[in-house]
Amino acid sequence: MDQSSIDALRVQEIAPRGHFINGTFHAGETGALHEVLSPIDGQPLAHIAEGSPADVSSAVHAARTAFDDGRWSRMPPAGRKKVLLKLADLIEAHALEIAVLGVRDNGTEINMAYKAEALSAAATFRYYAEAIDKIYGQIAPTSHDILGLVHHAPVGVVGAIVPWNFPLMIGSWKIAPALAAGNSIVLKPAESASLSLLKIAELVAEAGVPDGVFNVVTGRGSVVGEALALSMDVDIMVFTGSGATGRRLLEYSARSNLKRCYLELGGKSPNIVFADAPDLAEAAKVSAAGIFRNSGQVCVAGSRLLVQQDIYEEFVAEIARHAKNFRVGDPLDLTSQIGAVHSLRELEANLDFVTKAEAEGAERRTGGERILAETGGYYMAPTVMAGVKETDNLFQNEVFGPVLAVTPFKDEDEAIRLANATVYGLAGGVWTSNLSRAHRMVAEVRTGVMHVNTYGGSDLTVPLGGVGQSGNGHDKSLHALEKYFDLKTAWIKL
């Protein structure tokens, strides 16, 4: 990856993109297009099809037909494996093109996007391709004259809705295991960040996934997402996004066919630093990256920093120093460490959090303002707000931007209480040299992922999911396959 290759790709014109249904691209029933603005400069970037309920119906019908006739669902696992491995190779071969395309519509810094989006997606497809022919059924311990078998049957049609912050990485966490298990998919990307997933649709067809098995309908969540979730022919919904949308999906499930909904709904993750942390300088460096990379637009971001009183002022000063030193700028520039906020609406919401935090008594140690406005893009200085109280808006609610809330604590009991004092439970971290304390914190902090003496980073071998209002579904690892199978019992008299 070099700057000249990136610069050549950044200026490529993007033709209007339609839906991908039954193996071909379509303009859609109405032919209407949605304008996509680039967060890099605020200028029009592309036009994508504005989906309608009729488009969703066509995609679901294609997916159901493909599932029922068995062109993919009844293909031997080794056959699906071969196709998905080819898809992984194609994604890797087009990795830079895909990464640049995604950065142009979502604003993630290219150094992160290349690894976390394109290369991560290729690795995800390889992981589930290799896993699927190693998933066995079971023989139940019944009486001597009965054979009880437990089969894994694909669920059918999967409706998937993915967000704008890491559309390809998160999309692959859902697409890869669902396809590996033999299901058909209708995918709805975020209307502001669809380009990388539409490129994947091209590669899916090239890899040999049969027509109708993988479909993409673009457009607004209030139209396309609602139609998908209300469909009587979608068997499960998988979703990453806001709690408000997750609640609507559950409502739509109740109003339709009681489809199962697996939801990953974000968080307000506590990152807890004790005075006995093994390396406070390293803790500050990693903690700063854990909130400010990708402009804080990461569901597991360590957005609440809890610091023991003995080291509070020293540690806050070090965090602020790191925040000031990050290079924020054009996400397609290899020297930029932090890219753009995704949209003007998100930027304004981030700034509003800062204003309200100050009104509630928090102290702005650095950042808190829009920067590089002359570019037309959406950039925000990494922000450290100290003295945030448990009752403050910034302590309780997810910003999804580069804004860190810092709160002091006295002892372990108070750290646990503060860590658990929100409705969320997605991720967390603890920095300590005390092994017993580390185990107690892992056990007592209510969260789906707990880091010890690090923050962020994991691989496909472990699940990602939350508790409380962070949702109920798990992506990654072999556990992710479970939701894409139904268990079917065969009870056979011998």
Residue 458 has a pLDDT of 83
Q: Which residue in 109, 264, 318, 398 is the catalytic one?
A: 264
Q: In what order do the strands lie in the sheet with 403-409?
A: 363-366, 383-386, 403-409, 304-308, 270-273, 427-431, 449-452
- How high is the pLDDT of residue 55? 98
**pLDDT tens digits for range 378-434:** 999 999 999 999 999 999 999 999 999 999 999 999 999 999 999 999 999 999 999
| Model pTM score | 0.97
The predicted structure's pLDDT at residue 473: 87
Structure confidence at residue 114 (pLDDT): 98
Ranges of the chain whose pLDDT falls below 70: none
Q: What pLDDT, on the 0 to 100 scale, is given for residue 43?
A: 97
191 assigned to active site? no
Residue type at 17 in one-letter notation: R
Domains and CATH numbers, the chain: 3-265+471-493 (3.40.605.10), 270-459 (3.40.309.10)
Q: How far apart are the C-alpha atoms of 429 and 416, rounded to whole Å?
A: 11
